[in-house]
DNA sequence: TGCTGGATAATTTGATCAAATTTCTTGAAC
DNA sequence: GTTCAAGAAATTTGATCAAATTATCCAGCA
């Protein structure tokens, strides 16, 4: 397994690891992210860590504090509104574009991923759920072949990531309508518009969850 | 003037310089951006240059080629469509948000900046025009107090930047309706919706220009 | 056309310097 | 005598640079 990693630069690996920590809510909002701390935790050199932090700062996943430190941002209500607006503007479009290009094999793959999502919900494993949900959305979005919009979506998910941690408390989302299933049905029938609509409602649902969690914790 | 710069970290200065080079079309699309080259050109150290490149890569202003080099991206027609879609989704919203918060003093400032835009057009100085046009839009967007959307807009302008160079060829845009003036009128009357509409048409006009330029040069 | 060696550039590490935060001490006031 | 606060020392952390390593590119040759 070392033979593969040897080809990937260390700063890419470090970036991916830090990104996933943020994306899956392993870092608390407001927690300081220090270079030295990551060197110790990830066992990486200084330069790779610096670059990972810079990249994620540029993507909005980390917030520079006035002094020259960075921290995990705490999403305020206003920022959540902005993220929600942008996600609702970008991601349904990605879904619509993807809708016209999906092959049956890709739909099968998405259905398999959605199975993982449901299993994670049943097992009550939030970490798995967040990873599988992310995989589902981005496997779909990647099919749109729209790299610019894909990058924007990635940035927006990163901004929302740390706050998903707050959802841990109110983790009873099985009652909500399963919009992934609706999306899959739209894919099978080749209805790109319906697919976009399902994704739009899925996003809205997720944002409402986070908004309620933030309201409760404040 | 050195007393002020001494407080700003070198990697910030390097980032700003490289960003402006991209933003104002000083770098040709497809041109390779090397670390060593920037060390020589900007007279900066290696670490600041690396970080500037990473940041701009994360923002989509530079594109990593499979080998470990980066280059200024050439906007394809598909990518331009994506940038246009995202800009039209985000920036009118920023204008609308700003519309409700603009003070008369801020509007005066915007009018002054627009004067610079017009003077640059009359003088036929593209570089000044691009800088002033950028300043006009972002002075307005900053008033929206929506940092997330502002970051997205910045990223989108960076992606479009290098291709504005192509507009040099067909630099006769005085004939187009002056949408900045319309926008200023909407600001004065406090009509946020009209302001958003003016900005939307301004973006559309700019995108059409770039699209035609790309079509001609291909 | 395919391969090999030199040149070039990117990656990574470690060392050094500068800034910021924390802690400790000292002095004064209550 | 105790407590609070201001200031200084020490520690932690970030910024920058230079050298060593490694991967990639390119030219010459079989």
Q: What percent of chain A has pLDDT over 70?
A: 90
How many domains in chain B? Answer: 2
**Residue where a domain terminates, one of B25, B49, B71:** B71
Looking at the structure, do residues A67 and A95 belong to the same domain, yes or no? no
- Contact, A34 CB vs strand C, < 7 Å: no
Could you report how far apart the first and last alpha carbons of chain A are, in Å?
45
Å from the B67 CA to the D30 C1': 28
Nearest to B68 among A9, A68, A147 (CB): A9
Lowest mean pLDDT among A31-40, B168-177, B182-191: B168-177
Higher pLDDT, B137 or B166: B137
Looking at the structure, do residues A204 and A112 belong to the same domain, yes or no? yes
Average pLDDT rounded to a whole number, residues A43-48: 87
B58, A56: Cβ pair inside 8 Å?
A: yes
In chain A, residues with a C-beta closer than 8 Å to the C-beta of B91 are: none
Looking at the structure, do residues B56 and B21 belong to the same domain, yes or no? yes
3-state secondary structure of B161: helix
Question: What pLDDT digit, counting tens, does each position of B93-102 carry?
Answer: 999 999 999 9
Looking at the structure, do residues B27 and B57 belong to the same domain, yes or no? yes
Looking at the structure, do residues A35 and A111 belong to the same domain, yes or no? no
- Is A82 near chain B, with CB under 8 Å? yes
Question: What pLDDT digit, counting tens, does each position of A180-197 carry?
Answer: 988 999 999 989 899 999
- Contact, B32 CB vs strand D, < 7 Å: no
Looking at the structure, do residues A190 and A113 belong to the same domain, yes or no? yes
Provide the CATH number for the domain around residue A49.
1.10.10.10
Question: What pLDDT digit, counting tens, does each position of A156-181 carry?
Answer: 999 987 787 766 656 555 556 688 98
**Nearest to B205, CA basis, from B188, B185, B182:** B182
- Is B10 near chain A, with CB under 8 Å? no
Provide the CATH number for the domain around residue B147.
1.20.120.530
Å from the A30 CA to the D2 C1': 37
Question: What pLDDT digit, counting tens, does each position of A91-102 carry?
Answer: 999 999 998 899
Whole-angstrom Cα distance, residue A86 to residue B150? 11
Average pLDDT rounded to a whole number, residues B199-206: 92
Closest nucleotide relative to residue B36's CA, C1' based:
C9
Looking at the structure, do residues B123 and B196 belong to the same domain, yes or no? yes
Whole-angstrom Cα distance, residue A34 to residue A70? 7
**Residue where a domain terminates, one of A20, A38, A71:** A71
Domain enclosing residue B52, as ranges: 2-71
Looking at the structure, do residues A89 and A176 belong to the same domain, yes or no? yes
**Residue where a domain terminates, one of B71, B92, B122:** B71
Looking at the structure, do residues B56 and B136 belong to the same domain, yes or no? no
- A75 burial class (0-12, 13-18, 19+ CB within 10 angstroms)? buried
Å from the B67 CA to the D27 C1': 20
Looking at the structure, do residues B165 and B92 belong to the same domain, yes or no? yes
- Is B64 near chain A, with CB under 8 Å? no
Å from the A109 CA to the D22 C1': 38
Looking at the structure, do residues B108 and B186 belong to the same domain, yes or no? yes
Looking at the structure, do residues A40 and A148 belong to the same domain, yes or no? no
Question: What pLDDT digit, counting tens, does each position of A6-16 carry?
Answer: 467 888 899 99
Mean pLDDT of chain B: 87
Contact A71, A57 (CB under 8 A): no
- Contact, B57 CB vs strand C, < 7 Å: no
A86, B85: Cβ pair inside 8 Å?
A: no
Contact A35, B37 (CB under 8 A): no
Question: What pLDDT digit, counting tens, does each position of B8-61 carry?
Answer: 788 999 999 999 998 887 888 888 899 988 998 888 889 999 999 999 999 999
């Amino acid at each position: 397994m070392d033979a593969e990693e040897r080809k990937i630069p260390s700063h890419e690996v470090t970036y991916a690891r830090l990104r996933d920590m943020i994306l899956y809510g392993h870092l608390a909002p407001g927690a300081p992210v220090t270079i030295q701390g990551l060197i110790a935790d990830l066992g990486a050199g200084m330069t790779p860590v610096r670059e990972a932090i810079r990249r994620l700062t540029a993507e909005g996943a980390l917030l520079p504090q006035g002094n020259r430190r960075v921290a995990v941002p705490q999403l305020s209500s206003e920022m959540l509104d902005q993220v929600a607006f942008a996600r609702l503007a970008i991601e349904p479009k990605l879904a619509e574009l993807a809708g016209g290009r999906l092959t049956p094999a890709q739909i099968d793959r998405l259905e398999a991923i959605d199975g993982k999502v449901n299993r994670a919900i049943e097992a009550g494993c939030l970490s798995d759920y967040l990873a599988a949900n992310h995989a589902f959305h981005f496997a779909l979005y990647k099919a749109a072949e729209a790299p610019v919009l894909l990058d924007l979506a990635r940035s927006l998910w990163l901004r929302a990531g740390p706050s998903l941690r707050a959802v841990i408390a109110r983790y009873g989302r099985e009652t909500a309508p399963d919009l992934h299933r609706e999306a899959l049905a739209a894919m099978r029938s080749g209805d790109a518009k319906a697919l976009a609509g399902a994704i739009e409602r899925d996003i809205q649902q997720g944002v409402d969850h986070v908004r309620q969690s933030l309201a409760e914790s404040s």
